[in-house]
Amino acid sequence: MSTADRSDADADGTAVALTVDGDQVELSVAPETSLLRALRDAGHLATTGACEQGECGSCSVLLDGRMVCSCLVPAVTCASAEVRTVTSLCAPDVADALVAHGAVQCGFCTPGFVVAIETALRTAGDRVLSTDEMHEHLAGNLCRCTGYAGLVTAALEVQRARLAAGAGRST
Amino acid sequence: MSVTAPTRSASPSIGVDHERPDVRAKISGEFEFSNDAVAPGMLFGATVRSPHPHARIVAIDTRAALAMEGVVTILTADDVPGDRIIGHITADQPVFAFDRVRYEGEPIAFVIATSQRLAWRAADAVTVEYSPLPVLTDPEAALDPDAPLLHPDGNLVRRLVIDHGSECHGAEVEVSGTWWTGRQDQAFLGPESGLARPDPDGGVTVLIATQDLHLDQVQIAAALGIDTSLVRVVCGGVGGAFGGREDVTCQIHLALAALLTGRPVKTTFRRRESFLAHPKRHPARLAYRIGADRDGTLRYVWARIRLDGGAYASTSMPVIGVAAYFAAGPYRFDGVDIVGESVYTNNPVSGAMRGFGAVQACFGIESTLDLLAAELDIDPVELRRRNALRPGDRFPTSGQIVGPSAPVIEVIERCAALPLPEPSPQLHPYARPGGTGLTTLGEGVRRGVGFAVGVKHMLYGEGTPEWCDATVRLSSGGVEVLSAAVEVGQGITAVLESVAREELEPALGEIPIRVGPASTAAGYAGSSSASRQTWMSAGAVRAACRDLLAKLDLAVVSDVGWEQAVTDQVIAGEATYRPRATEAGDPTTGRGDVHVAWMFVAHRAVVDVDVELGTVKVVQIATSQDVGRAVHPREIHGQILGGIAQGLGLALNEELRVHDGIALNPSFTDYLVPTAADMPEMLVDLVEVAEPEAPYGLKGVGEPPSLSSTPAIAAAIRAASGAPLRRVPIHPDDIVTMTATSDPVEVPET
Ligand code: FES
Ligand code: FES
């Protein structure tokens, strides 16, 4: 499917070159186009957008290493930026833990949670997070289906396993 | 989360956790949601919606919008070739408003353009001239003689009477109370979206995130004025539903646009539009009187329930039926006198949401029982235990005999026995009511415990015809299960796979099993709602598998293996499953064979309340739920935990506020879905007593978690604060001022 078939891209927009999950891409964006919409228009559909108001975290990506709501970032400001989405951030241990703890139902929130969990673990570094702390770390992402217990348990389990393996942080 | 392990069955597949077929793609982001769909040359649609809750449409001017470059066409009511009024139970809702609008957000036109952004911009350029009409917003006034008439037959959608047994007065003790529940939104995360494309035979294919492919199909066909067989509905990836996708939103607009333009047409709603577009949980007023003996034996329940149905009927007919039939809870009563009414107003349309009327009824009966427990000085758990239905009793409203799978006492006793949290309120900022804002050092924090019991039926009931088809195809590639059962996130695809495995692997050995795409081509399954789809689909797939096995020479299969036995043939097993039929209840007594079977649940809530600030921290929710037989224990836990989160939302923070018919908070900024930080420790206990009516003895599990979690939390807050609290969601103001509710609700004469 070509970009034109998505047809929401702005043909006479500003050209913005950036890296998405390690690939060089060039986007054509209007001044009001969010990074989320620009990514999706260019066929990067793994990142979802439930509110486009910065409230749900489903659109979470790493922008130059920092977690952002991609719906709030104007794409025109992302020239030369390095964007990482769930596509390159989804580590096998996180995926396995999410499966094992029944943390996925409709799945609309899941890509954002994968980014948020990875960010929480990196931010914590070698410090073991308590259950309450993990709840706080993940409180920027909404999930309407699971009640969060599986997501939080999975995140805590991955952290313990990584620390036990001496990895501290991955990827 | 701690879990009491249910007893495991010896069978190979049912009762054992399996990896969901969709889970890895959902984690990696490769799963295709309906708004990910694309088609070459597709156009985009945007809906023009009414800003008025009640107004006459004087003129619609599309010229400026049509003149914009890239705008292809604009559809209005004049372009609807078939029925201009649709509805899946009551046909009362225009495809596009003509003549007048009855709620804020009602669709008036659909703009088709070459990009979504352009379509939105052009929709803003459509000018509609309105002449405002008097707005009916108070459901208590809807039946007054001078109320504006919203529909030709009046403002009553349905009145239901359930009245039988002893007279409802003259008990040794009587308590009474009136209760209210607010307007909750399903707030699923995946916004409404779909993609329609014209087919060469003059028909149309609609890919849509929905809960019921066939209900969409018949309504699309009726509006287009074409044969149902020309409308194919395919399930797009659904980002949650909870009842909010039972009604048509963009389906007909897309199909019409695709046929008129000859091109694929897609639309995706924005969040505000999603809030305005789909029906919500009915706001309810529940007036109760309960009579009892001094020893706590219940005598009668009298209830008057009024639901705000909003501008169109949607599912109000069955929702008020459910509210009335579960208004007496799972208790023994000698007499019941219940009147349920759902009325039209110019508020947002009310419809289906998880629990479907039983949520509101549960809040009414359980809250009134707590008044009785206080009056009699009996422990609230003991009062419920003493009066709980037992197998062989008559259900209090319908008068049906409940079968052996009625573990009401078990769910009460087991829930009450689950461990309590540490007794003293923790002072860690994360654990404080009000959170980390340093709002309190804990001096005003009081702990409270509340308990509630819920009940609801499974399947449609009240005489609604019900069946489910399935096909199981065996070929050299393995088994494919074909069904129209919609995966809304609940895990139905995993159930279909497990049932096929359970039935086929003993005869065929290990075999690849995959679940085909859900579409109207795969037979009929009915909706993924009413805690019915697992039961219905399991029944259909089981029978289809048995049909397939009957067509095979099993001796040959066991000699040479299924691959050799099948070679290049395709052998199909087919079946239609029908549960026991139900009937409408008697119009005056309400008695009758109204439901097939019931689910029971108990919740205990522990809360810390800062009584000076009115802030609440839910510390723990414990639940015991009757699940018949657990098909996938892990997925059932997921349903229970997610349902509790929604029950917590209704108790504390979720309400779409509406003033003069205008929604005040249609965004995730102001409509507060619980976050991870709001969620307590949750203890889950599954009670398994096989349901003899159901395949494998299973029960639906989706709705019970949302029934009694809300009243349990409300009871806990009352216990902690002493505030009377008659309305959910509970506001901090209600607690601090010790009032029943800070909302300006009119208390009707009861
Ligand atoms: S879509 Fe970006 S925060 Fe919701
Ligand atoms: S799994 Fe549906 S929103 Fe999280």
CA atoms within 13 Å, Cβ hemisphere of B185: 29
Averaged pLDDT, B163-189: 96
Give the position, in ligand 1's atom list, of the atom nearest the Cα of A51: 4
* pLDDT recorded at residue A10: 54
Do B50 and B94 touch, CB atoms closer than 8 A? no
Averaged pLDDT, B2-16: 57
CA of residue A139 to ligand 2 center, whole Å = 14
* pLDDT recorded at residue B440: 76
- Sheet of A82-84, strand order: A23-29, A14-20, A82-84, A60-63, A66-69
Q: How far apart (Å, rounded) are the C-alpha atoms in residues B433 and B446? A: 10
pLDDT tens digits for range B326-368: 999 999 999 999 999 999 999 999 999 999 999 999 999 999 9
- Using CB distances shorter than 6 Å, the residues near ligand 1 are A 49-52, 54-59, 69, 71
pLDDT tens digits for range B89-146: 999 999 999 999 999 999 999 999 999 999 999 999 999 999 999 999 999 999 999 9
Classify residue B394 as exposed, middle or buried by CB count within 10 Å of its CB (0-12, 13-18, 19+): middle
Question: Which range, of B287-301, B554-568, B677-691, averages the lowest pLDDT?
Answer: B554-568
CA atoms within 13 Å, Cβ hemisphere of B734: 22
Residues of A in contact with B642 (CB under 8 A): 105, 143-147
B27, A7: Cβ pair inside 8 Å? no
Do B526 and B466 touch, CB atoms closer than 8 A? yes
pLDDT tens digits for range B418-472: 999 987 656 677 888 888 776 777 889 999 999 999 999 999 999 999 999 999 9
Gyration radius (Cα) of chain B, Å: 26
Do B438 and B429 touch, CB atoms closer than 8 A? yes
By C-alpha distance, which of B437, B625, B459, B608 is closest to B535? B459
Q: Domain locations in chain A?
A: 3-85, 90-164
Q: How far apart (Å, rounded) are the C-alpha atoms in residues B404 and B508? A: 34
Residue B36 neighbours by CB distance under 10 Å? 20
Task: For tokens 């009056």, name the residue.
Answer: B375
**Regions of chain A where pLDDT drops below 50:** 1-5, 7, 168-171
Distance from CA of B437 to the nearest CA of A (A): 13
pLDDT tens digits for range B25-37: 999 999 999 999 9
Backbone angles phi, psi at B511, to 5 degrees: -150, 140
Is the CB of residue A142 less than 8 Å away from at least one CB of chain B? yes
Q: Which CATH class is domain A90-164?
A: mainly alpha
Give the position, in ligand 1's atom list, of the atom nearest the Cα of A60: 2
* pLDDT recorded at residue B432: 84
Output the six-digit token pair for B353: 């949401």
- Please tell me the pTM assigned to this model: 0.96
pLDDT tens digits for range A59-99: 999 999 999 999 999 999 999 999 999 999 999 999 999 99
pLDDT of B740 > 80? The answer is: no
- Ligand index nearest the alpha carbon of residue B642: 2
User: Among residues of chain B, what percentage have pLDDT more than 90?
Assistant: 92
Which stretches does DSSP call E strand in B227-346?
231-235, 265-268, 284-292, 298-308, 335-343
Q: Which CATH class is domain A3-85?
A: alpha beta
Question: Dihedral through CA A160, CA B685, CA B623, CA A149, nearest 10?
Answer: 20
Distance from CA of A98 to the nearest CA of B (A): 8
Averaged pLDDT, B589-597: 98
Domains of chain B: 1-9+407-458+593-741 (3.30.365.10), 34-134+189-277 (3.90.1170.50), 467-577 (3.30.365.10)
Atom 3 of ligand 2, nearest CA residue: A143
Does residue A106 have its Cβ closer than 6 Å to ligand 2?
A: yes
